[in-house]
Amino acid sequence: MNIPNLFIMAVAIMLSIVASQRKNKMLGFAGLGVLALLLVAAPFISENKAPLIPIFILGLGAVGWNIIGGYTGYAAFGQVAFYGLGAYTVVLFGSKSRTPLPANSLSSIQDQTIGWSLPIAFILAAVIPAIIALLIGLPVLKLKGHYFAIATLGIAVATPQVIANIGCIGGTDQNPGFCLGLGTGLTMRPLPDDKEANLTQLYFLGLIAMTLAVFLLWYISRNKFGYGLFAIRENEEAASVMGVNTALFKNAAFVLAAALTGLAGAIQAMLQIQVAPNEDSIFNTSTSLYVIVICLLGGVGTVWGPFIGTFIFAFIREVLENMPKWFNNKGLIEWRDVIFGLIVVLMVLFLPKGIMQLVGNKGRFTWKIFLRNIRENSI
């Protein structure tokens, strides 16, 4: 059990809530400042910083989903496709290519990668999923409601199968342009041997990326593009009549969401070094659900919702992971997912707009808020 990590997550939740409130701006800025100090100091406080990095990875994906699902109202269930593409891209472009190739070595050929610098590979991890999203979005975003959700889920299922059946592209049989490793995947090789230094770098990379993503979310919510997305979410036909180019705005939101999700996948790939179509952490469809759950916990369609939600999500998972040890009952391991699912269901029932509903409540915090939500949901 890592008590410092639990402490960091719990304090980050409280400080995020303080920073997001608007009633007292001075208190909000103070909360934001202390939160920034906490997150900068966190890798030096923690005894095991590895569990902290996925917070920003999933948080970055949640920010991306919030643009298309929260702001635009299109519930995408296939974000893991862009997550996996981002992971593959950073390894494919960021790993050193093995040259010269040993003669007639099929395994070495499959390891052949492009070998550009890691920063360029990281940028491409956003660009390539964005381009794929643009091509997919043109037909898919003509669908609405559950038809759109099912179509994106199909994309999530199909993407790893496509990659698993692609060998090498370009060049010749003995000297291909680059290879996707078929079912065996690719391994990232140039990272230094200092594991602790790598984890610290990845932590701050994730923190900076998520901070910039939240700032982007805030900026979108305050300009014409964001207002257009909100209008589409409320009533797409009315938005079109009012002059909003709905097709352009929806595609732009889908592309932005894919780019951010691709960056999240890239950080995950750098964390685990290896990617493969059957790798559980790369193309696991649960990732698409996690980013949605994070937004539900924090507040769908809000700026702070994904940020707060990702710390709540991480805190709950960390507690459930340690629960069998606390109660000295290994049988509780089988109940972790059940308990987590129950928490999510209760959260959606009593606080369908997430924690941000309490933060944004103008009146006093009372149980009437929960009762009102139950009545409004006809429970």
Q: What are phi and psi of 274, to 5 degrees?
A: -120, 145
pLDDT confidence band for 40 (50 / 70 / 90): very high
Return the biggest CA–CA distance within the chain.
74
At residue 332, does pLDDT exceed 60? yes
Q: Which DSSP category does 302 fall into?
A: S
Lowest mean per-residue pLDDT among 69-83, 189-203, 316-330: 189-203
Q: How is residue 345 written in tokens? A: 């269901």
Q: What is the pLDDT of residue 50?
A: 84
Q: What is the pLDDT of residues 197-207, one digit of tens each?
A: 788 889 999 99
Give the pLDDT band of residue 379 (cuts 50, 70, 90).
Answer: very low
Peptide bond into 100 cis (omega under 30): yes
Residue 100 has pLDDT above 50, yes or no: no
- Predicted confidence (pLDDT) per residue in 306-319, tens digit: 999 999 999 988 88
The number of beta carbons lying within 10 Å of the beta carbon of residue 122 is 21
Q: Which has more pLDDT, 350 or 108?
A: 350
Whole-angstrom distance, CA of residue 296 vs CA of residue 62: 10
For the ranges 99-113, 262-276, 324-338, which has the lowest average pLDDT?
A: 99-113
Mean pLDDT in residue range 103-124: 67
Average pLDDT over residues 24-39: 89
Contact 282, 269 (CB under 8 A): yes
Neighbours of 170 (CB within 10 A): 9
- Give start and end residues of each alpha helix (H) in the chain: 3-20, 25-45, 53-65, 79-94, 106-110, 118-140, 145-164, 195-220, 224-234, 236-241, 246-272, 286-298, 305-326, 336-350, 355-359, 368-376
Residue-wise pLDDT tens digits, 340-360: 888 888 877 777 777 877 776
pLDDT at 250: 95
- Supply the pLDDT for residue 337: 76
pLDDT the model gives residue 365 = 59
pLDDT averaged over the chain? Answer: 83
pLDDT at 6: 87
Q: Which amino acid is at 303?
A: V
**pLDDT for the residue numbered 1:** 54
Is residue 69 within 8 Å of residue 76, measured between CB atoms?
Answer: yes
Q: What is the pLDDT of residue 376?
A: 65
